[in-house]
Amino acid sequence: MKHFLDVSDYSPAEIQDILDLAIRLKQEYFAGGNKPLFKGKVLALIFQKPSLRTRVSFDMAMRHMGGDALYLSPNEIGLGKREAIADISRVLSGYVQAIMARVFEHQHVVELAKWSSIPVINGLSDYSHPCQAMADAQTIIEKFGAMKGLNVTYVGDGNNVAVSLMHIVTMLGGNFTIANPEGYGMPQAAQAIGAKLAQASGAKISYLSDPHQAVKNAHVIYTDTWTSMGQEEETAKREVVFPPYQVNAKLVSEADKDVIVMHCLPAHRNHELTDEVADGPHSAIFPQAHNRLHAQKAILARLFEVA
């Protein structure tokens, strides 16, 4: 591994290896702390979008493993505006040991990686959110033991989170269903990759419009905000279209009795997800958020080749 831009860039064995390492590093941390395998290493954190989980989890992942992180705000860099991406990438390659970038346009993180001589991690782009998917898969595996044969249902907008979730679930042999309003599906390119991954693993992908049909026999129900960052001008329109896709107690009751409910956060409570569900017995949203820390330790460890 040189970079971590999309889960679909890697084989199922490579992704499973990182997930196994994430679980081991989590156990190690709670058994007394992680070994300082990142000593002498600094991760540059480039942000075009605001963040709670991505910023804090990457920062703390480096600290737990003996390294350090350097936060770079949008105004400090002006990625692709104040300075060319190729120049930023090559400059940082001489200062730090890895770069994490949370960007609007996926092409920006691709270009960072193209010109970088150090590992680049996609911390979120308009196309995908691979680090979130790794934490999601870790959470599901910790609950059910493995991904293979599980039914994972995503309810809502076919956004970057849905793309990465579909890819990692099908790659590991889980069945993936998405229910979304017409016109809010996933990009065709992402669907094509999903189809190849599903064919290789024997998984099934279903594209539906009815959320109630979609959650039948679901072991996991996943949702996200109806309006992602950068889509604010569509908020009013989406507030009319998406209410039938709310994950509430009734919808959860129609899934498997042991279903877990997931959300990448931040949540707009009582919009896409009700308080009753978010704080209820089926909710896994906070263990899921905490697993960002450990999944990212494992990604970094493989990129640094230290574990």
Catalytic residue among 53, 126, 264, 296: 264
Question: What's the farthest any 2 CA atoms get from each other in the chain?
Answer: 54
Q: Which phi and psi (to 5°) does residue 38 adopt?
A: -100, 15
- 167 catalytic? Reply is no
Q: Which residues contact residue 55 at a Cβ distance below 8 angstroms, ignoring those fewer than 6 apart? A: 45, 47, 71
Q: Which residues contact residue 5 at a Cβ distance below 8 angstroms, ignoring those fewer than 6 apart? A: 109, 110, 113, 120, 121, 122, 128, 130
Q: How far apart are CA 285 and CA 304, in angstroms?
A: 29
Q: How far apart are CA 25 and CA 33, in angstroms?
A: 9
Q: Which residues contact residue 34 at a Cβ distance below 8 angstroms, ignoring those fewer than 6 apart? A: 25, 28, 64, 65, 66, 297
Catalytic residue among 6, 59, 126, 224: 224
Q: Which ranges in 220-284 belong to alpha helices (H)?
A: 235-241, 249-253, 275-278
Catalytic residue among 102, 167, 219, 271: 102
- 132 catalytic? Reply is yes
Catalytic residue among 48, 97, 132, 288: 132
- 90 catalytic? Reply is no
* Sequence letter at residue 289: A
Catalytic residue among 238, 292, 294, 302: 292
Catalytic residue among 108, 129, 238, 294: 129
Site of tokens 């997931």: 262
Give the catalytic positions in this structure.
Answer: 102, 129, 132, 224, 264, 292
